Amino acid sequence: MKVYTKTGDSGTTALFGGTRVPKHHIRIDSYGTVDELNSFLGLIRDQDIQQEYKDTIIKIQSDLFIIGAILATDPEKATLKSGKERLDIEKISADDITFLEQEMDKMEASLSPMTHFVLPGGHQTVSFCHIARCVCRRAERLATALNELEPFEPNALKYLNRLSDYLFVLARKLTHDLQADEIKWIPSKK
């Protein structure tokens, strides 16, 4: 199989199921942003962090491939058609969302309570988490817009929402683990 197919040279690409859409279609933008997020998670995983975090990130990256597949599937081709096979795309389960919540609870047990917003930064690894969190929020915004046009599995949206929370807590936990400064944002009175 060659990497280049030349089928996208005219500015279109194929969804799962074969439907061709413009490369600027919101569906492409949605799963492309999930792919971008997955790449940033790989960057975090490549940092000098505990193996437990790396293992969690690997699971999340796998879940993001599932979400990407959900977003890349033409809803009309995801159901049985006369004589044609169904595209069986894995689903995001409630357990996948609970997993993120449990991981956040474990990390938060050793952190001081949040009293203020925090400024992103303090350590390069922490900054990567904040960048991934922002990309996750963008993926969620795009997926939400797509869902209004062509609804898809609700757990995929819930997962993206919870994942951005997880990335924020991971940033705080890594700030703690790496003994970096967590700078609180305190509005100045001008």
In a domain, 54, yes or no: yes
CA 156 from chain center: how many Å?
10
Count of domains observed in the chain:
1
CA 53 from chain center: how many Å?
16
Q: Which 3-state string (H, E, C) describes 15-78?
A: CECCCEEECCCHHHHHHHHHHHHHHHHHHHHCCCCCHHHHHHHHHHHHHHHHHHHHHCECCCCC
Integer distance in angstroms from the first to the last C-alpha of the chain? Answer: 62
pLDDT digits (tens, 9 = 90+) for 147-182: 999 999 999 999 999 999 999 999 999 999 999 988
In a domain, 67, yes or no: yes
In a domain, 80, yes or no: no
In a domain, 185, yes or no: no
Please give the residue that has the higher pLDDT: either 164 or 119. 164
In a domain, 183, yes or no: no
| Closest of 130, 136, 129, 144 to residue 34, by C-alpha | 136
Residue 82: the pLDDT is 41
Which DSSP string do the residues of 114-166 spell out, in sequence order? P-S-B-S-SSHHHHHHHHHHHHHHHHHHHHHHHHHHS---HHHHHHHHHHHHH
Question: What is the span of the domain harbouring residue 29?
Answer: 14-75+92-177
Residue type, 164: S
In a domain, 85, yes or no: no
Q: Above pLDDT 90, what percent of the chain?
A: 64
pLDDT band at 67 (very low <50, low <70, confident <90, very high): very high
In a domain, 39, yes or no: yes
- CATH of residue 50's domain is 1.20.1200.10
Longest CA–CA separation in the chain, Å: 70
Residue type, 23: K
Query: Cβ contacts of residue 169 below 8 Å, gap of 6+?
Result: 104, 107, 108, 111
| Closest of 48, 25, 47, 45 to residue 37, by C-alpha | 45
In a domain, 4, yes or no: no
Query: Cβ contacts of residue 180 below 8 Å, gap of 6+?
Result: 122, 123, 126, 174
* Across 119-143, average pLDDT: 97
